[in-house]
Amino acid sequence: MNHQHSPTMNALSHSPSPSIKFSSYKTHSLLLPQPRSTLQSISLSGKLKLKISCSASEHPEHAAPRKHQPSKKAKNVSDGEKGVDPVGFLTKLGISHKQFSQYLRERYKSLKDLKEEIFNRHANLQDLSSGFMFLGMHRHVEHRVDFMEWAPGARYCAVVGDFNGWSPTENAAREGHFGHDDYGYWFIILEDKLKEGEKPDELYFQQYNYVDDYDKGDSGVSIDEIFKRANDEYWEPGEDRFIKNRFEVPAKLYEQLFGPNGPQTLEELEEIPDAETRYKAWKEQHKDDPSSNLPSYDVIDNGKEYDIFNVVIDPVTREKFKVKKPPIPYWLETRKGRKAWLKKYSPTIPHGSKYRVYFNTPNGPLERIPAWATYVQPDAHGKQGFAIHWEPPPEYAYKWKNTKPNVPKALKIYECHVGISGSEPKVSSFNYFIEKVLPHVKEAGYNAIQLFGVVEHKDYFTVGYRVTNFFAVSSRYGTPEDFKRLVDEAHGLGLLVFLDIVHSYASADEMVGLSSFDGSNDCYFHTGKRGHHKYWGTRMFKYGDQDVLHFLLSNLNWWVVEYHIDGFLFHSLSSMIYTHNGFASFTGDMEEFCNQYVDKDALLYLILANEILHALHPDIITIAEDATYYPGLCEPISQGGLGFDYYVNLSASEMWSSFLQNVPDQEWNMNKIVSSLIGNRHSTNKMLLFAENHSQSISGGRSYAEILFGDIKEHGAGSKETLLRGCSLHKMIRLITFTIGGRAYLNFMGNEFGHPKRVEFPMLSNNFSFSLANRQWDLLEKEMHHGLFLFDKELMGLDENEKILTRSLPNVHHVNETTKVISYIRGPFLFIYNFHPTDSFERYSVGVEEAGEYRIMLNTDEIEYGGQGNIKHDQYLQRTISRRIDGLRNCLEVSLPCRTAQVYKLSRILRI
């Protein structure tokens, strides 16, 4: 039998009793299905009558709880057909490329077809991205824990752990034995243990208010009293019997058809008469029965061939029923508090238990860490890894205190790695980060942190990019509650929290990760060469598979719902967008973005990810990291784009790194600096710029400070010329990178004060040393580093006070390769840079449009920032000269010492 509903629906249909689940987050109206149902009442036997509510497509025998099928209106999650132009952004940008335009149209059609397929199994896109509500371990409102896992290649599934002596038979589900559906989702119920001397609950479906206060939920009213009141106030006489025994009707039907005296073969079963014939036969058989006090029913055949029968009720009873509300208050009154649960039961899988999932596969038995596990300890020092059941008692579970900050118009992001955030040679913790790093970020003037390496990974030296467990925070830093506290404390300081998410590939580890998860290669990943990254040894996701989409999209939603994450940087998109993983020569020809090497399924996944995230969480921020700058990264989905809010300009940091290491100062190309930093003028406002991020310090690279200052151990003992050059360029690079681009800037932890050492994680090649896997915060006490920090702090404050990043894009009006001077205007601000290594200028003429007085707001050469103080304070105020320069009506004659930069602000306008 093919079940055309979602895996989450399978969990409900397998559940022996109904449960009520409420969403813990605000939903978007476009993601909700439009319910459509009719009420029918049918007579099934001589003594029993049952009232059934079912959708138009359901049969009466499917009385188990089901989700509503989505209406057509619910499917149009984004813009619908109206207002959609699959090539709209090409028209806007004036790009004419027939092949790419055709590709975008075909991609849009594929997106519509994909959604049609999705809606055959999922109620809507919210349902597609909410698998974490059912998969993995979940406490049920009754006395049990439910476990659900996707493993289509397995033929036997069990949960093994220290709670059951690692037995593969105690908590199991076999194919065809109440636990495996057509899509490969296994469902196992772990019943809580009844304590010695306690009797089972009177109600099989007894619910407990397990997650709230200790005894909240106990009404103090006995079950008999509640049912008596329900009989008097709500139920028609005799109806409450089906609440006490929900299986009475189907059991009798089953016994009639397949009981000991029923037919044993298909031949004996013969053809079952239609419902109307059986109803008339029953009515004839029971025509002499005494009258019932239940409502009367009858069957009317309206003569339509496609109508088998209509069951109708008398008008008085129908009107009486229509005014009734669901009897939920009576059900909730039967709930008991957690105190009552603790008295009667002990958990079958206690909090902190170690467990794994056991499969029997065509290739033999194997154990895996569940894919949806939320807390994992990966194997270390040769020990087996395992999941940890994380279900702290409500009084110990973290309670959120702070609301999320409003999303600022300009992002100043502080990129962090928790493990290397401490000064000591060891792995630092979430708690250390909270106490030491968050206050520094706030003081430095940033308004967001971006964390990488937080999602669980087996090997620390991989920096967290070979993810093994996508729903788990890394146990090496602390517990899930510790990470919630980190996010909450950051929000309390006004800091947004972004996560560097890696959905472009996954760890190839089989014992801890997802590779060959159920014994087959085609579970989460492509088979053969396509399933392996060409150079990194990682596994590549099969984005065209609905269940893989279900996993990845649910993962994104999980981090927002569970941990209140404010945004994501999607790591290394070129690895997933192209089958060559981005390792190819790109000339910029549009054909390279729509040829046979482009993975359309990966692009559709990114579109769905942005569509769902922005619909469910309107304030979410998504950032694309793509070295190939795929066209339309930040364009609206309705206009043929991928829907990201920002994209990362990777070429800027590559340019600075190349200049610092390979090009003499006097040969720096000013036009290349400007063109690299501004990028594509059409999308500059959507650009995230950085002078250097963690990549410049990791993977064999060096920080700019290490390049500029060399291997000086104590900077006070270094060459004065070397230190002066290093400090000057360090500040100038950050100033121009910060102010010339769009509305987003990023800095890696420690680089704001010139951290002098690269990052090197402990591994075999360095004898597993932690000496370079930390941050030297004590350097902030040293004069030079303190000066660099003060300058960076002033730079962040300049934007906070003057809103530099949110102003109109700069007008770059002066670029001189001979003098090495760059100047541009942004609003009332004038930025001037002299990159020349030796030449200073006493009266350098730079054009301005507005006549008036200009005052220096920020000067890289001030002594407190580690400069020489060549510009005296009486020179900070300059008045324009009425002379046309750089195509502008006026000019300033300013002092420009070598390797310095100044920011002027128009303080008073002069009317001529």
Q: Which residues are catalytic?
A: 625
Tokens 């040769």 correspond to: 382
Measured between alpha carbons, how far is residue 776 from residues 437, 624, 626, 750, 793 in Å?
A: 12, 31, 31, 8, 18
> If we measure between CA atoms, which residue out of 538, 476, 532 comes closest to residue 506?
538
Q: What residue type is 535 in one-letter code? A: Y
Distance (Å, whole) CA 576 – CA 275:
54
Which sign, positive or negative, has the C-alpha torsion 883, 885, 888, 892? Answer: negative
CA angle 635, 641, 645 (to 5 degrees): 45
Distance (Å, whole) CA 455 – CA 512:
13
62: left (phi over 0), alpha (psi -120 to 50) or beta: beta
Neighbour count for residue 285 (Cβ, 10 Å): 10
422 secondary structure, DSSP code: S
Please give the full DSSP string across 20-38, using - where no structure is assigned: ----SS---GGGS-----E
Rounded (to 5) percent helix, strand, coil in the chain:
35, 20, 45
Q: What residue type is 557 in one-letter code? A: N
Tokens for 591, please give them. 């054909």
820: left (phi over 0), alpha (psi -120 to 50) or beta: left
Distance (Å, whole) CA 469 – CA 559:
13
437 secondary structure, DSSP code: I
What's phi and psi for 261, nearest 5 deg? -100, 5
Q: How far apart are the first and last CA of the chain?
A: 86
Distance (Å, whole) CA 858 – CA 736:
12
Please give the full DSSP string across 75-130, using - where no structure is assigned: H--SS-STT--TTHHHHHHT---HHHHHHHHHHHHHHHHHHHHHHTTSSSHHHHT-
> If we measure between CA atoms, which residue out of 788, 713, 714, 715 comes closest to residue 754?
788
Distance (Å, whole) CA 200 – CA 196:
11
Neighbour count for residue 761 (Cβ, 10 Å): 23
CA 81 to chain centre: 27
Tokens for 388, please give them. 């940890």
Q: Where are the alpha helices (DSSP H) in 626-774?
A: 650-662, 670-678, 704-709, 720-739
Distance (Å, whole) CA 300 – CA 710:
93
> If we measure between CA atoms, which residue out of 394, 339, 357 comes closest to residue 137?
357
Distance (Å, whole) CA 400 – CA 489:
9
> If we measure between CA atoms, which residue out of 732, 741, 745, 859 comes closest to residue 810?
741
